[in-house]
A and B are shown apart, each in its own frame.
Chain A
Amino acid sequence: MSHSLLSPPSTSFKSNERYFIRVSEQLPSLEECSQFVSDASCGAIATFAGTTRDNFQGKKVTQLSYEGYVPMAEKELRGICDDACEKFSGIHKIAAVHILGDCPVGFPSVILACSSPHRRESIHCVEYLIDALKARVPIWKRECYEGDNGSVWKENIEWKEGRQERVMIKDEGSKVT
């Protein structure tokens, strides 16, 4: 039993909170997120870590630099967690953390973790969480390229798609009146 992959829940995380949410220059570790969601009643922990990739369309990426509207980003993350718990009934706890500032190649910028009694809910939930985060949490990244290739602000396709959806719903509503 001494060779467990994850440590048992640590005493520092013995909180009654259901969610661990943070948008900060100090990103909590994957281990901390797993420990937060870990629970004796749960047989599954699913995690997702998004890391900085070293290339984009043939250009060499040196780092990503993140900026966020912290209070709103944390509020949106909380809303996403509420939606996820409603959608996947077995979810016990969720950790959703995002970095701010510079994130070099290979380092994580976002970590999501959740726990449930059985595996399926957690696996699906973690996918839902990252898709929803990309669609609605006000955080921005600038991709920085090697040499004289400069840098650009990126745009998530999930944000664009979400906006089109909202407009379509609105248009249908106005037809009724």
Chain B
Amino acid sequence: MISIQVLFFASAREAAGDISKKCIELTPDEANTSSLRRLLALEYPGLASMVKDEENLTLALNEEYVTRGQVLALKDGDTIALIPPISGG
């Protein structure tokens, strides 16, 4: 098993029940961004429609955006942030 940190922001944080940080364990088979989306949808039903939709929710792996269509491998100690559409400025 590997362990990663997931950070929830703005509408994603609220949809998950106002959780801003969660440590998640993944089996070697699940250690990628695509499986993580599926697991988060199961664990947080309120977040499901958002987290499964790349249009609606972008991921950042260790402070770098994951571009749409890209599936990245995850390793122990990684940080994934759930990034809903941004609105700074």
| B28 interface residue per 8 A CB criterion | no
Interface centre among B55, B60, B84, B87 (most CB of A within 10 A): B87
| A170 interface residue per 8 A CB criterion | yes
In the complex, residue of chain B having the shortest beta-carbon distance to the beta carbon of A130: B89
Residues of A contacting B: mostly: mixed
Residues of B contacting A: mostly: loop
Q: Nearest-CB distance from B84 to chain A (Å)?
A: 7
Contacts of A142 in B (CB 8 A): 10
Taken together as a complex, chains A and B put the C-alpha atoms of A160 and B58 apart, in Å, by 11
Contacts of B74 in A (CB 8 A): none
| A154 interface residue per 8 A CB criterion | yes
B81 touches A138 (CB 8 A): yes
Q: Nearest-CB distance from B52 to chain A (Å)?
A: 17
In the complex, residue of chain A having the shortest beta-carbon distance to the beta carbon of B87: A154
Taken together as a complex, chains A and B put the C-alpha atoms of A98 and B88 apart, in Å, by 8
Q: Nearest-CB distance from A156 to chain B (Å)?
A: 5
B9 touches A166 (CB 8 A): no
Contacts of A166 in B (CB 8 A): 67-68
Known contacts A67-B10, A69-B60, A75-B63, A155 near B88 by CB under 8 Å: no
| B23 interface residue per 8 A CB criterion | no
Contacts of B89 in A (CB 8 A): 50, 98, 109-110, 130, 133-134, 139, 156
Known contacts A67-B10, A170-B69, A156 near B88 by CB under 8 Å: yes
B63 touches A141 (CB 8 A): no
A159 touches B68 (CB 8 A): no
- Residues 2-46 of B at the A interface (beta carbon under 8 Å): 7, 9-11, 13
In the complex, residue of chain A having the shortest beta-carbon distance to the beta carbon of B7: A69
Residues of chain A at the chain B interface (Cβ within 8 Å): 50, 66-69, 71-73, 75, 98, 109-110, 130, 133-134, 136-142, 153-156, 159-160, 163, 166-167, 170
Q: Which 5 A-B pairs have the closest CB atoms?
A: A139-B88, A140-B10, A155-B85, A154-B87, A72-B63
- Pick 6 A–B contacts, CB within 8 A, sort by A: A140-B9, A141-B88, A153-B85, A155-B86, A170-B67, A170-B69
